[in-house]
Structure 1
Amino acid sequence: MSTPPSRPGAERTDGSSVRIGALVPLTRPGWVEAGQHLLAGLELAVGDVNDTGGIDGRPLELVVRDSAADPDRAAAAVDELARLGVAAVAGEYHSVVARAAAARADALGLPFLCSSAVLDALTEQPTDWVARLAPAQSHGWRIYADFLLGAGHSRIAVAAEPSVYWASGTRILRDHLTPRGATVVELDLRALTPTALCDALVDHGATALLLLAGHPEPAVPTVKAVRRDQRLADILIGAPAGQPEFAEWAALLGDDGAAIPFLRYLPERLGPLGIRVETALRERLAQAPSFVAFEGYDTVTVLADVLRSHGTDRARTAASWPRVAVEGTRGQIRFSRTPGITVWQWAWAPVQVVDRDPAEADRFRILHTG
């Protein structure tokens, strides 16, 4: 797990800008709204860094590439960014895409600070080149499972699409819930129509349905079908991956999108920095910022601190992860080696289970914290 020497082109001292590559899903099938929030946070932080002197007098520049939820495209973008001489790569929302980017960054010797992806196994082997801000999936989803148990749910159905991310989530839920007396039944969204899914929920006597599925398809039609089935009037619909966080969810589902608990990575109350950043993000986005926007801001804040303290040499950046101590929008950020996690991990960002208030869809209710 040693950090190799820097590759050629890793450090520039000609007085030009310091460049950071950014991977962001900005087109379909990527989750575009999440990408827009992530980019807003990244860009706001770059502006703040430059307003306070940049990196030792050199402006910080963001070089953005659209990952479009495509792992191959993201890996190719990492190759391109490395050739362009970026000091580090930041960002990405989709876990499977971030995994591909992390593998390529590790192979190239390019520091990668992952903003939002949560898949535990972000790299196959331990690496010094990659660090992550978002909580690992196993951490957040166990907190979500505890919320379900605390709310009295012991018969849980998981409606999932095929992917490494959804399969990992299902395994985490099953491993945590089953020893505590709950049952978890898996329903394949590829094989079931919305009507057939409702029939299966009734047959299994499920009291909670968890949507491990893409947005808007098939998550939105699934929610509509369940909400309209009188046999399922009392079932809890949950979305641990955070689909209801964004305004598009409320716009597409209206009242049907409320009271669907999901994971959000924010503290109960923001500190002074978080409040200032929230105000600026709200103005930039013309809507309330999601936790993903704060992740973007914190990503650049960390990288700027590292680059100011240790220079732009890639190897020195990678070696600095364990020495990071940065005040972010959601608390102090430090990285450590966490059991089962192959990258340097902030353990942990604050975790909440929240939902949209049925009485006021733009207001979030905190149901559980971990």
Structure 2
Amino acid sequence: MSTSPVRIGVLAPLTPPGWAEAGRHLLAGLELAAAEANAAGPPLELLVRDTAADPARAAAAVDELAGLGVAALAGEYHSVVARAVATRADALAVPYLCSSAVLDALTDEPTPWVARIAPAQSRGWRLYADHLLGAGHRRVAVAAQPSVYWATGTRILRDHLARHGGTVIELDPLPPETLCDALVRHSATALLLLTGHPEPAMPIVRAVRDDPRLTGLTLGAPAGQPELPSWAALGERGAAIPFLRYLPERLTPLGVRVEHALRERLGETPSFVAFEGYDTITVLAGILRHGTEREHIAASWPHVRAEGTRGPIRFSREPGIGIWQWTWPPIQVVDRDPANPGEFRVLRVA
């Protein structure tokens, strides 16, 4: 087998308006796993491209990387961007292992070329809806920016809550003061932040927490904004805001070792996104040891048997999901502890 490096195209949001903190953690996991995999061979070379949360920019990067001869594509955090990547990868017959994007329909039609490490949005957001119901919420407001990802999340929540007598109220997220007035008017008991980070999510949190009319209102952020390090700037105001993260109750022994290495690399506690990046390269490296041709990689998804940082990784076909899906990554509903906003509390697991 050739000893020249096998190229893998990496896509991640590394600059705004992308969630650059998530992109940095994703890249740290990808790079750590590649460095470790190179000891076993074949050597890997990561060609990194910043998507900046722009689907068109990401699609152009896929064209460029395919022309550079990458064996596969990896990464991405934002669902609308990963959908553009998956669509273009399918058209060009380039294998793509999606790390962090959760949108169920990454492609319009079933494809053999795309697989995913992250769980499907429908699975996580239904668990989140169960958490809301368990906490007694039946009038849930969402402050949602225009996006297929936020719209799909809103639909999942509405359908699940409606089965239990709940209602979803859609509100314009801006300006925050007007949003607060609407929350009072609609008598909502919870507000979910289906918005970008740090703007406008963090200003909304400040406005709601500082409005005496909304004392007792529950804030939520299923997409995981409170996981990001910059959220700590909110202090106590950023605590008790449940979000989804994809970690088990206990990491595998591999996960414990990787956590220490990622902490050193990042200089802070690694988020679940960093583990998703590491697991992505772990899977691809295992496949590449047996062949580097694109057709071989795509044909290998159903045969993957990898030990990841968060459990055994196996891919299957699931109803309504046209790609190869890890079934299933662990899911938690978590928040920052009001007594210590630097620590997390696990509220519900799947």
TM-score (normalised: structure 1)? 0.93
Match for residue 47 of structure 1? 35
Match for residue 319 of structure 1? 299
Superposition pairs for residues 106-121 of structure 1, below 5 Å? 106-121=90-105
Give the one of 279, 292, 315 matched to 1:298. 279
Superposition pairs for residues 124-203 of structure 1, below 5 Å? 124-189=108-173, 192-203=174-185
- Distance (whole Å) between structure 1 residues aligned to residue 20 and residue 303 of structure 2: 34
Give the one of 12, 19, 30 matched to 2:7. 19
Deviation of 1:314 after TM superposition, in Å, equals 0.4
2:318 matched to 1:335? no
Deviation of 1:362 after TM superposition, in Å, equals 1.5
Match for residue 354 of structure 1? 334
Match for residue 21 of structure 2? 33
- Distance (whole Å) between structure 2 residues aligned to residue 271 and residue 317 of structure 1: 26
- Distance (whole Å) between structure 1 residues aligned to residue 179 and residue 7 of structure 2: 49
Match for residue 369 of structure 1? 349
RMSD: 0.9
Q: Which moved more, 1:284-293 or 1:353-362?
A: 353-362
- Distance (whole Å) between structure 1 residues aligned to residue 75 and residue 252 of structure 2: 23
Match for residue 226 of structure 1? 208
Deviations 1:215-247 (A, max 9, x none): 111111111010011111101000000000011
Match for residue 66 of structure 2? 82
- Distance (whole Å) between structure 2 residues aligned to residue 25 and residue 157 of structure 1: 28
- Distance (whole Å) between structure 1 residues aligned to residue 57 and residue 129 of structure 2: 34
Deviation of 1:14 after TM superposition, in Å, equals 4.5
In the alignment, residue 64 of structure 2 is paired with which amino acid? E
- Show structure 1 runs of 5+ residues with no match: 1-12
- Distance (whole Å) between structure 2 residues aligned to residue 101 and residue 274 of structure 1: 28
- Distance (whole Å) between structure 1 residues aligned to residue 181 and residue 172 of structure 2: 13
Match for residue 239 of structure 1? 221
- Distance (whole Å) between structure 2 residues aligned to residue 296 and residue 238 of structure 1: 25
2:319 matched to 1:307? no
- Distance (whole Å) between structure 1 residues aligned to residue 344 and residue 322 of structure 2: 33
- Distance (whole Å) between structure 1 residues aligned to residue 180 and residue 61 of structure 2: 42
Match for residue 9 of structure 1? none
Deviations 1:159-183 (A, max 9, x none): 1111111000000000110111111
In the alignment, residue 350 of structure 1 is paired with which amino acid? P
- Distance (whole Å) between structure 2 residues aligned to residue 240 and residue 269 of structure 1: 21
- Distance (whole Å) between structure 2 residues aligned to residue 225 and residue 68 of structure 1: 27
SS of 2:241's partner is coil
Runs of 4 or more above 2 Å deviation: none
Deviation of 1:254 after TM superposition, in Å, equals 1.6
Q: Which moved more, 1:292-301 or 1:202-211?
A: 202-211
Number of aligned residue pairs:
350
SS of 1:180's partner is coil
Give the one of 273, 278, 300 matched to 2:254. 273
- Distance (whole Å) between structure 1 residues aligned to residue 80 and residue 100 of structure 2: 11
- Distance (whole Å) between structure 1 residues aligned to residue 159 and residue 207 of structure 2: 29
- Distance (whole Å) between structure 1 residues aligned to residue 176 and residue 264 of structure 2: 39
TM-score (normalised: structure 2)? 0.99
In the alignment, residue 198 of structure 1 is paired with which amino acid? C
Deviations 1:195-230 (A, max 9, x none): 211111111111110010001111111110100111
- Distance (whole Å) between structure 1 residues aligned to residue 146 and residue 216 of structure 2: 27
Match for residue 89 of structure 2? 105
Match for residue 192 of structure 2? 210
> Aligned residues: percent identity?
73
Deviation of 1:292 after TM superposition, in Å, equals 0.1
How has the CA–CA distance of structure 1 residues 99 and 157 changed in structure 2, closer, same or farther, with 3 Å as cutoff?
Answer: same
2:52 matched to 1:68? yes
Q: Which moved more, 1:86-95 or 1:193-202?
A: 193-202
- Distance (whole Å) between structure 2 residues aligned to residue 42 and residue 88 of structure 1: 13
